[in-house]
A and B are shown apart, each in its own frame.
Chain A
Amino acid sequence: MSGTFVGMPAFPKAAHDAVHNPVLRGNLRHATHTIRAKRARAVAELADWAALREAGRRIKDHTLRHLDRYLVQLEESVTAAGGTVHWAADADEANRIVTRLVKETGESEVVKVKSMATQEIGLNEALLDEGIRAYETDLAELIVQLGKDRPSHILVPAIHRNRGEIRDIFRSEMGGWGRPAPEGLTDTPAELAEAARLHLREKFLRAKVGISGANFMVAETGTLVVVESEGNGRMCLTLPETLISVVGIEKVVPTWRDLEVFLQTLPRSSTAERMNPYTSMWTGTTDSETADGPRAFHLVLLDNGRTDTLADQVGRQALRCIRCSACLNVCPVYERAGGHAYGSVYPGPIGAILSPQLRGTASEIDASLPYASSLCGACYEVCPVAIDIPEVLVHLRERVVQGGPAVRQGNRVVLKPAKGHAAERAAMRAARWAFAHPGALRTGQRLASRTRRLHPRTLPGPGRAWSGTRDLPAVPPEPFRDWWQRSRGGKDGVK
């Protein structure tokens, strides 16, 4: 499998394999149901959850509304603390900036703390093209990297792998990247963790450059915050001499006080912990010989479709996302289709609304993502920043089938409808016409009733998608409205 996501088939096709892979479905079902139950318990412990959720929503909305102001403030604070801020309009620009910064250090290896932003822009591949090797240090991310795989979950990128598969990957691949797996490695979690620890320790102690993302950036002090469970991220942040953080512009919050809300809601929503084990915060650089932390710090602020998204009144709420992954864990579609089907580093419900906004709806996969949901609403219910994902899905469906105004790369454009919806559009118009003319509707109903014995229970054409797996209901002898008119609701004694 390639490391990038381009050229993905549409969602239904991409989901096909997962739906028919019982091992994968078993892995996903077990993992998501376990974490879902734990999350519910962790959230129920807080009497003020609804207020926290509302506070999170408001802080994010306020920040997004004044994003220009807070980003400038952030830049000033980071600069004052000894860091350097770079602005990247898109993935290519961000990759160029990071590659140049690494080259300037003269290094050809970097360690990375798990970062979705760098995954989004394909940084590892871009670095490799320039002869720089990036080592993932998050355990699950390491498994994905060693397995030449792609992440399939926001929090647990290797959720689709079971322990046996991980042991096999460690055994066959670790040697090629550094310290090999110990002899006779088994699939017990403790042994797997120890193998990863030994392998990674070597990297941490050698690396001069670290690359990270961030969960939050505090505008008032220029502080970046990473929330994690393993401590590997902290090693990446403190050991290297140069630290380069690539962060989406929507991750800024105005003040330290705002963090209080998210440091409660994020861990409970994602890992179901009251508090995550490691919260690392860094502000600029350190110049003392003895202190921990980098001597050089670069912050690359990534746009890559975010200001376009911000321009959309309904869709912009997707930028509130704090990447907790709760929506993935409750999503019945994610559970069956698996993370890879979403064709993006952002899978699940949030991916279904974020990717078509960041990337546009021109590709087959992006045009299919807004339909990768039954609109059951479970994602909205758990989202700690109250993103109404179903609302945005429907809004994006409208963009796919009808086109309309949008902002792409900063320019106002009028999008054309995506291909392949002409028949559906015609059917919808015809149905609308029939519904607006009850006489026509009734004629259709009667025709269906009269020919009911001729109706097959399976369908040709597009209907085959339904009847391949489910039988159709039988058409009744008489539609309700005919019965009503005959009997006025049974009042004339007709039953």
Chain B
Amino acid sequence: MRVALFLTCVNDTLYPDTGRAVVKLLTRLGVDVDFPMGQSCCGQAHYNTGYRHEAEPLARHFSDVFGGYEAIVTPSGSCGAMVRELYPRMGERARAEGRGESLARTLAPVVPKTYELTEFLVDVLGVTDVGAYYPHKVTYHPTCHGLRSLGLGDRPRRLLQAVKGLELAELPGAEECCGFGGTFALKNAEVSAAMGADKVRSAESTGASVLCAADNSCLMHLGGTMSRLGTAMRPVHIAEILASTEEEPAA
């Protein structure tokens, strides 16, 4: 199976460790991973801020770069949701505006082949025990787009529960938004920060040392909040936990 890693522009630039973890994990599970160098950004920030027309060329570019693969895997719930939920909508809107089928036709092939990482592991590879070892107490925050747009359900938690040494603590109010929301974090900084602080406090209340999620954008917001609040907890992407083994443990 020829699988393309869609790392996302945020991870590529700021969180290369997550990318290395995905490659390590998938390779360990026997998947042949490619990283198409032409990839850039799915256009989510543009789209969600109201720049749909600026997002369209990015979506076309995404389809050009990834169209030839059997599966596209991304360690980001919100970028996955962009492709799966919003690309079809972009196509429909273009059609409704009398611009024809071209956008819809270009985007259609990548939509069903795009998987968020935990979905790919559980649904496509059919594994929940990925042979990981991570001796820490972890609490899991299901990010909004993973939870509601993609419907990841309990897949990430099942994966975490199977990790050797890992103690999973339930996060109170888990389904509440952490307050990141892309440009929302800038446009409504105070409300966003208040939401982030509440999320960090409930994570702290579990006694876990690691706050885990399947999206580095939310973790960037929460990690920045933790650092400012002087919390001992660390934000860690689920891929890094799943990639960690006894021989090569994650930091």
Contacts and interface: CB of A to CB of B under 8 A. Distances in A.
B50 A375 contact: no
Interface string B128-164: 0000000000000000110111000000000000000
B184 A479 contact: no
Interface residues of B, number: 73
B103 to A, nearest CB: 15
B84 interface: no
A326 to B, nearest CB: 15
B190 A15 contact: yes
Given A12-B188, A378-B148, A462-B186, A469 B40 contact: no
Interface stretch (A156-164, A256-264, A429-437): A429-437
B35 A12 contact: no
A428 B45 CA distance: 9
Interface string B179-207: 11111111111111111110000000000
B186 A376 contact: no
A98 interface: no
Given A429-B54, A470-B193, A483-B20, A448 B13 contact: yes
A45 interface: no
A470 B35 contact: no
Contact of A15 (B33, B96, B188): B188
A225 interface: no
For the complex of A and B, list the 4 residue pairs with the smallest distance between their C-beta atoms, beginning with the closest.
A374-B181, A397-B50, A470-B224, A376-B177
A436 B224 contact: no
Interface in A433-488: 434-436, 438, 441, 445, 448, 462-463, 465-473, 475-476, 478-481, 483-485
Nearest to B7: A480
A411 interface: no
B46 to A, nearest CB: 6
A336 B40 contact: no
B15 A476 contact: yes
B227 A471 contact: yes
Contacts of B50: 370, 394, 396-402
A332 interface: yes
The interface residues of chain A, by DSSP majority, are classed as helix
A485 B35 CA distance: 9
A135 interface: no
B246 to A, nearest CB: 17
Given A398-B51, A436-B57, A468-B189, A479 B46 contact: no
Interface in A349-398: 370-378, 380-381, 391, 394, 396-398
A371 B57 CA distance: 24
A425 interface: yes
Contacts of B69: none
Interface in B43-98: 43, 45-55, 57-58, 61, 89, 93, 96
A297 interface: no
Given A16-B190, A432-B54, A478 B16 contact: yes
Contact of B193 (A372, A401, A469, A481): A469
B209 interface: no
20 contacts: A12-B189, A12-B191, A371-B188, A372-B188, A375-B184, A377-B144, A397-B50, A400-B50, A402-B51, A428-B54, A441-B40, A465-B189, A466-B186, A470-B221, A473-B14, A476-B16, A480-B19, A481-B12, A484-B37, A490-B27
Contacts of B39: 438
B225 interface: yes
Nearest to A477: B16
A332 B187 contact: no
A481 to B, nearest CB: 6
A316 to B, nearest CB: 13
Given A313-B96, A471-B224, A490 B61 contact: no
A465 B186 contact: yes
A489 interface: yes
A371 B187 contact: yes
B228 A12 contact: no
Contact of B58 (A391, A432, A469): A432
A337 interface: yes
Nearest to A371: B187
Contacts of B49: 397, 401, 424, 428
Contacts of A466: 185-186, 189, 224
A91 to B, nearest CB: 28
A480 B89 CA distance: 30
B20 A373 contact: no
B37 A401 contact: no
Nearest to B35: A484
A185 B81 CA distance: 55
B213 to A, nearest CB: 14
A92 B206 CA distance: 55
Contact of B190 (A19, A332, A381, A471): A19
B108 interface: no
B195 to A, nearest CB: 5
A377 B77 CA distance: 14
B45, B181, B223: residue with the most chain A Cβ atoms closer than 10 Å = B181
Contact of B228 (A333, A336, A400, A470): A470
Contacts of B15: 473, 476, 480
Contacts of B19: 480, 483-484
Nearest to B147: A377
A11 interface: yes
B66 to A, nearest CB: 13
A289 to B, nearest CB: 57
A478 B20 CA distance: 12
